[in-house]
Chain A
Amino acid sequence: MTHHRVLLFARYAELLGAGEVAVELSHDATAADCIAALRTLPGGDLLPSHPVLVRNHAIVTGAVVLDPSDELALLPPLAGG
């Protein structure tokens, strides 16, 4: 198992009660695995069906394999401007 930190913002930070959470994933875990793990956390069941996950500041699809050194973040719909 590997340890991954995930940054949360705005509505998602409120849902999960923190601006950053940690998840334990298998060695070859994917972005989809990470989102599934986030759903098991308190409040995670309220996340939308397909939240946007970014790795090192770029959006990743579900099949992408993650590395523990990656900076991960879950982005709510953007509302700047």
Chain B
Amino acid sequence: MAFLTSDLIDAAALSRDVGASHHGAITTFIGSVRDTHNGRAVVRLTYTAYHAMAELECAAIVREAESRWPVRAALQHRVGDLQIGDAAVAIAIGAGLRDEGFAACRWVIEAVKRRVPIWKQEFYADGTDAWVDPVTL
């Protein structure tokens, strides 16, 4: 399964991918598209990516999570045009216990934000648009 997809993310499928008989905890995170940003009304957004590098970086993040904790990790990130409420990113962690599951899930989303070359362009209700610069968040 590719880490980047222009289709709707199936978070349930990600959870199934990391399930195992010895996993007592499946931890998930879904980042979804908000209708406001810094007080501005958002109507939709577009994610673009440096696909080749993003796929490699996502694979590295999964490998690193699975080496840091005794877990199985899966993630997908949307690209293309998204509507309000769409899942932009989903992470699933299968773990023996919840503590390591929550820790790994939090680590993966922060690593995705910090390392994966993806960019977000927001389109506002007033007809304008802007590239979101995380430095200004």
Where the two chains meet, the residues of A that have a C-beta atom closer than 8 Å to any C-beta of B are 7, 9-11, 14, 54, 57, 71, 73, 75-81
B47 near A: Cβ within 8 Å? yes
Min distance, Cβ A45 to any Cβ of chain B, angstroms: 18
Known interface pairs A57-B52, A73-B50; 7 further A-B residue pairs with C-beta atoms within 8 A, sorted by A's residue number: A10-B131, A57-B56, A57-B57, A75-B50, A75-B117, A77-B134, A80-B113
- Partner of A78 from the list B31, B88, B115 (CB cut-off 8 Å) is B115
B89 near A: Cβ within 8 Å? yes
Interface contact A80-B135, CB-CB below 8 Å: no
Main secondary structure of the interface of B (DSSP, over half): mixed
The complex places the Cα of A7 from the Cα of B119 at a distance, in Å, of 14
Interface contact A9-B112, CB-CB below 8 Å: no
- Partner of B53 from the list A10, A57, A77, A81 (CB cut-off 8 Å) is A57
Interface size class, chain B: 20 to 34
Where the two chains meet, the residues of B that have a C-beta atom closer than 8 Å to any C-beta of A are 31, 47-50, 52-54, 56-57, 77, 88-89, 109, 112-121, 131-135
Interface contact B89-A9, CB-CB below 8 Å: no
The complex places the Cα of A9 from the Cα of B52 at a distance, in Å, of 13
Interface contact A78-B53, CB-CB below 8 Å: no
- A7's closest neighbor in chain B, by CB? B50
Interface contact A81-B89, CB-CB below 8 Å: yes
- B108's closest neighbor in chain A, by CB? A81
